[in-house]
Structure 1
Amino acid sequence: MRKVIYLVTALLVMSCSQEEFNIGNPNQADAARVLANAADFQNFNISNHTTMLTAQVSFSGIYFRGAADQFSTTNAFRGFWDYCDQPRRQVLNTTSNDDLIYQAGLPWVDFNGVINNANIVINNIENDGGEVIVSGSDVTEQELAAAYFDKGVAQGYLALIYDKAYIVDPDTDPNALEFSTYQELLDASLANITTAIGLASGSFEYTLYASGPSLDAATFTQLANSYMARFAIGVARTDAEAQSLDYNQILTYANAGLTEDFFPPALETVFFNNFQDWSLFLLGDGAGYMPTDQKITHLFDPSYDTDYPTDASIILPAATSDDPRLDLYYEYVAENFGFLRESRGRQLFSSYRTIKFFNDNDQNQTGIPVNIFPKAEIDYIKAECYYRQGNYGAAVTALDASPRMSVGMQSTTAAGPNVLNALLYEVSIELDLASGIIVPWTFMRRHDMLQAGTLTMYPVPASELEITQDEIYTFGGPAAAGEVGTASGSNDWRNINLVY
């Protein structure tokens, strides 16, 4: 049976409003027309950059955010409640699940589409001898570097999200495709990003979207190293697996990474943070559409309950903390519970909403920063590497160089449990909605901090498995706790003694 992958070409960047979210029909590029003209070829490549970046701040991030207890809800719209309910639910990986296309389907389509488009560019240049001469300048190597980068980043996200996927190169026989493991995908990702770095030099420019800002070779190289650090440390599914990572290599990536935030400006209807648009929506009663999970307030104030009281007469008071980010990033809304339904579990309630990055219910505004990769994430990756190596003093130094000290004014004791607790705190608070769709979730899974039964990776979507006639399978649910793809809960954040 022929293996089939999603071949999607994003000549036009599709975006979605707060009120309606639809996945458009894939458009197959007219490759002959595009490749015949150098300017069109370059614009095709730029459109793929935009798609790759947009996929990192897409609607699909909501589900990872729920699984990581970053927000809470009882709202069943698009299956949101499925990812916040307790005990955790199994992923309904079946084509009868109308929400699967948003949950496991969207990243699969987006990132495989980016890979397909990058392969078109790579094939034209490397195998067909194509040259890209624009306004008298030879930008062939520039476009090739950009294509390898896009492909590597897309493969990195597939490695972090799914248990397996395809590795597709320009010369891959579509009739002989087989799934590769997430570790094999990571290796391919790192190799392709490394190739991109080697090709980026001189007057190199990586343009984020048509007529938009560009990265020079130095900044591009920093960003590329940052992604390699994110992927290399994020790939582990369990604490045991994380113990075997090469932290010296990850530190090498991080030390060559970003020295300032990569938050490029939005361009209305072309490039904006749809993940934040949904996550920060304010309801008429003052509640958040996606309320802040109790995990966050418990991290600020360990006396705060990990679950909301089930007694309907109890309204939790405001949390207290000496960290100013409690008030800078969150708002106490008392008994304004919005869409939360008591019949679906009052323990899921919250008296807080997230206000960091809030822009009057509209992230689709030109000029608003699109939070793709914060410098703080590099600080925390370094600190985590030092933690894993047992160098707690160096870990504290990295934490002190981050917003933990400069904004939160929080000190950390140089002891293993204290450093790990500080990392959980910072990843959950500082990186939430600042690092795209999956960072808090990948951090918690590699330290076994997810609730038992939480998925630690997605299965290949059932819609794909039906096409390939492979067996349909899934992950998640309390009955599967501790099995491959499902969190054991052995270091569940709710049971951690929060000392710093």
Structure 2
Amino acid sequence: MSKRIHAVVGTLLLLGAAACADLTVPNENEPNTGRVLASPADVEQLIINSYLSYHNATIGFTSGYDPGINAQMSAASFEHTPMAANFGMIERSALPRLPIGNTTADAFRGQYEATWYGSYRAIKAANDGLTAISGGLVINNAADTRRAEAFAKFVRGLAHGTLALVYDQAFIVDENTPDPTVRPLTAGDLAPYSEVMTAALRYLDEAIAVSQANTFTIPTTWINGVQLTNQDLVRLANSYKARYRAEVARTREERQAVNWQQVIADVDAGRQTDLMIEMDDVNWQHVIHVYHSFYGAWNQVNPMILGMADQSGRYQTWIGTPLGERTAFLMVTPDMRFPQGSTAAAQQANPGLYIRHKGNAGHVRPDRGTWRWSLYRDTRFQDFYDAGWAGPLPVLTRAEMQLLKAEGLLRTGDAAGAATIINQTRVGNGGLAPVTQGSNPDCVPKLPSGACGDLLEALKWEKRLETWATRMGSWFFDSRGWGDLVQGTAVHYPVPAKELLVLRAPLYTFGGVGQPGAAGPSTYNFGL
């Protein structure tokens, strides 16, 4: 068998383009749609596998032990701080910020490509399954067929939502997209992120409609360890809609303009418990935790944001110190999620609920910036690390959803309602005094200026601590909409150079102070 191979093709025929030089060679790795869709069981398995493709494109291993852009986004938003120069973490967190190296020669091009092609791999699998079903294929019975249809539409929505969050533009591809062998996609078919997100929400609504009209149960093998009834799938789709509506914003202005009443409605109609996937370190992996568990040069708690827990004044002194002279410092805070005590010894003896004092481990490569050094690391997921990266991990939490609702309430004038939600984790997990619109008794967070954070800052504090390392972009997407990214940070990724070359479109990039697609002045400045 011979296939026409484009640079863009590997597993995704729908992104094939005739506008590049073709080479006719045997290609046994390229899926044969006719063979894959030969039986109802094959179609069902294809749809089942679509979710794992989405999972790997976002929080799993994209190829071997490659984390895609997950680690880059974490470092860029100060969710963690690395000293190791792997996966573009140093480049994306460099100060001052650098442009993304969007060329086929860039050392980290694989990270930029992984989420792009992984998302389309999920979309293709879902679309091929939906095409077969719309053509009359029955999987066992009517209920199982509708189950597969709903799940495929759900995954298609998730994958398009991911593309809209990450890239400035992308292709919108469904079972109605023209056959690429007849009408190949071109650069003119790329849609801006706002339109891609609109499509993602529409696909999730389609999944909801099918689920509401039918009765079925999705077994634990489809999303590892998670059993979903048709109504559970409705609720989960609504939760993702809430997340996507808020996080697609690239600026403060776009975040403010979000339809917050709809976000609140989506949260209320959504999942009310954590979505916990059973990781096995074989097929189901959570890459950020694998590398975070290495500690030292791989993962330290970045003081740029979490230093705002400190009440000793050392954080403000650190912020006021020239960047090249900053180094690790001891934080003292009443937040029980942090280690307690006013000395290193006391803190080592009293780890916090989420964070512990680690000492000077990992204080290496000062040439990469001693401002990256920290005395702290996470402890929240220690049991998972000790179990060999196996066990249940949250990828969407009740806390995330409730704090999205709190932001909606705050932005629509209900500060008291927002405070009630904020205080659920602030008091329950942090052991802090409740906040109100005009009062922050424990002064957590204490901003770089030394001022106590207002209610919005308290909300952001809770959101960051409660969603830390749960999924790709857990801090990045919020930080860009809040205006908290360091000035010059690329607010989204360009279409990968590999794809642009296939399309014969000009290469372009984002990031760098004052350059296109870069964040403006940060809320906090960070003394930079």
Query: Shorter-chain TM-score: which interval?
Result: 0.7 to 0.9
Contact 1:4/1:468 (<8 A) preserved: no
The code of the aligned residue for 1:492 comes to Y
1:200 aligns to 2:205 (yes or no): no
Give the match's secondary structure for 1:260.
coil
1:101 aligns to 2:136 (yes or no): no
Q: How does 1:235-250 map to 2 (within 5 A)?
A: 235-250=248-263
Give the match's secondary structure for 1:371.
strand
Contact 1:272/1:370 (<8 A) preserved: no
- 1: CA distance between counterparts of 2:377 and 2:53? 30
C-alpha distance after superposition, 1:113-139 (max 9, x if no partner): 11111110111111x221111xx6641
Q: Shift of the alpha carbon at 1:299?
A: 2.3
Q: How does 1:388-407 map to 2 (within 5 A)?
A: 388-401=411-424, 403-407=425-429
Give the match's secondary structure for 2:191.
strand
- Which range is displaced more, 291-300 or 370-379? 291-300
Structure 1 residue aligned with 2:521, among 468, 471, 489?
A: 489
Give the match's secondary structure for 2:44.
helix
- 2: CA distance between counterparts of 1:325 and 1:318? 15
- 1: CA distance between counterparts of 2:220 and 2:167? 26
- 2: CA distance between counterparts of 1:372 and 1:43? 23
1:322 aligned partner:
334
Q: Shift of the alpha carbon at 1:63?
A: 0.6
The code of the aligned residue for 2:465 comes to I
Contact 1:72/1:292 (<8 A) preserved: yes
2:51 aligned partner:
49
Contact 1:317/1:334 (<8 A) preserved: no
Contact 1:63/1:83 (<8 A) preserved: yes
- 1: CA distance between counterparts of 2:400 and 2:384? 26
Contact 2:218/2:227 (<8 A) preserved: yes
C-alpha distance after superposition, 1:209-262 (max 9, x if no partner): 368542112221111111000000001100011222111111111111121110
C-alpha distance after superposition, 1:68-113 (max 9, x if no partner): 01122332223221122211111111111021211x2111011111
- 2: CA distance between counterparts of 1:404 and 1:200? 36
Q: Shift of the alpha carbon at 1:8?
A: 2.4
Question: CA 1:212–1:31 in 2, change beyond 3 Å: closer, same or farther?
Answer: farther
2:360 aligned partner:
335
1:470 aligned partner:
505
Q: Shift of the alpha carbon at 1:272?
A: 1.9
The code of the aligned residue for 1:473 comes to Y
The code of the aligned residue for 1:267 comes to D
C-alpha distance after superposition, 1:397-452 (max 9, x if no partner): 22123x22221133222159612111221222221112x00121111111111110
Contact 1:57/1:276 (<8 A) preserved: no
- 2: CA distance between counterparts of 1:57 and 1:493? 30
C-alpha distance after superposition, 1:362-381 (max 9, x if no partner): 67544x11321011000110
1:351 aligns to 2:356 (yes or no): no
Calculate percent identity across the aligned residue pairs.
Answer: 26
Give the match's secondary structure for 2:275.
coil
Contact 1:263/1:370 (<8 A) preserved: yes
The structure number with the bigger radius of gyration is: 2
Q: Shift of the alpha carbon at 1:317?
A: 4.6
Contact 1:225/1:256 (<8 A) preserved: yes
- 2: CA distance between counterparts of 1:129 and 1:316? 63
Structure 1 residue aligned with 2:458, among 407, 411, 422?
A: 422
- Which range is displaced more, 149-158 or 213-222? 213-222
2:469 aligned partner:
433
- 1: CA distance between counterparts of 2:333 and 2:249? 32
Give the match's secondary structure for 2:277.
coil
The code of the aligned residue for 1:163 comes to D
Contact 2:324/2:369 (<8 A) preserved: no
- Which range is displaced more, 50-59 or 369-378? 50-59
2:298 aligned partner:
289
Can you give the 5+ residue segments of structure 1 that lack an aligned partner in the other structure?
A: 11-24
Give the match's secondary structure for 2:382.
coil
Question: CA 1:332–1:8 in 2, change beyond 3 Å: closer, same or farther?
Answer: same
2:100 aligned partner:
91
Contact 1:330/1:354 (<8 A) preserved: yes
Structure 2 residue aligned with 1:377, among 378, 391, 400?
A: 400
- 1: CA distance between counterparts of 2:437 and 2:384? 41
- 2: CA distance between counterparts of 1:489 and 1:125? 50
Give the match's secondary structure for 1:372.
strand
1:305 aligned partner:
315
Give the match's secondary structure for 2:245.
helix
Q: Shift of the alpha carbon at 1:479?
A: 3.6
- 1: CA distance between counterparts of 2:43 and 2:114? 26
Question: CA 1:230–1:3 in 2, change beyond 3 Å: closer, same or farther?
Answer: farther
1:279 aligns to 2:289 (yes or no): no
- 1: CA distance between counterparts of 2:431 and 2:297? 27
Contact 2:143/2:216 (<8 A) preserved: no
Q: Shift of the alpha carbon at 1:458?
A: 0.5
Question: CA 1:415–1:391 in 2, change beyond 3 Å: closer, same or farther?
Answer: farther
Question: CA 1:274–1:316 in 2, change beyond 3 Å: closer, same or farther?
Answer: closer
- 1: CA distance between counterparts of 2:325 and 2:242? 47
- Which range is displaced more, 440-449 or 271-280? 271-280
Question: CA 1:26–1:185 in 2, change beyond 3 Å: closer, same or farther?
Answer: farther
Q: How many residue pairs get matched? A: 466
Can you give the 5+ residue segments of structure 2 that lack an aligned partner in the other structure?
A: 14-26, 61-66, 339-351, 440-452
1:35 aligns to 2:37 (yes or no): yes
- 1: CA distance between counterparts of 2:208 and 2:216? 11
RMSD of aligned Cα (Å): 2.8
Q: Shift of the alpha carbon at 1:489?
A: 2.0
TM-score, normalised by the number of residues in structure 2: 0.82
- 2: CA distance between counterparts of 1:49 and 1:219? 16
- Which range is displaced more, 312-321 or 88-97? 312-321
Q: Shift of the alpha carbon at 1:171?
A: 2.7
2:345 aligned partner:
none
2:193 aligned partner:
182
Q: How does 1:5-16 map to 2 (within 5 A)?
A: 6=9, 8=11
Contact 1:67/1:455 (<8 A) preserved: no
The code of the aligned residue for 1:357 comes to F
Q: Shift of the alpha carbon at 1:47?
A: 1.3
1:262 aligned partner:
275
Question: CA 1:113–1:55 in 2, change beyond 3 Å: closer, same or farther?
Answer: same
- 1: CA distance between counterparts of 2:129 and 2:158? 16
Q: Shift of the alpha carbon at 1:159?
A: 0.5
- 2: CA distance between counterparts of 1:281 and 1:441? 22
Q: Shift of the alpha carbon at 1:185?
A: 0.6
Give the match's secondary structure for 2:410.
helix
Contact 1:66/1:80 (<8 A) preserved: yes
1:122 aligns to 2:130 (yes or no): yes
TM-score, normalised by the number of residues in structure 1: 0.86
The code of the aligned residue for 1:226 comes to S
Question: CA 1:26–1:408 in 2, change beyond 3 Å: closer, same or farther?
Answer: farther
Question: CA 1:3–1:40 in 2, change beyond 3 Å: closer, same or farther?
Answer: closer
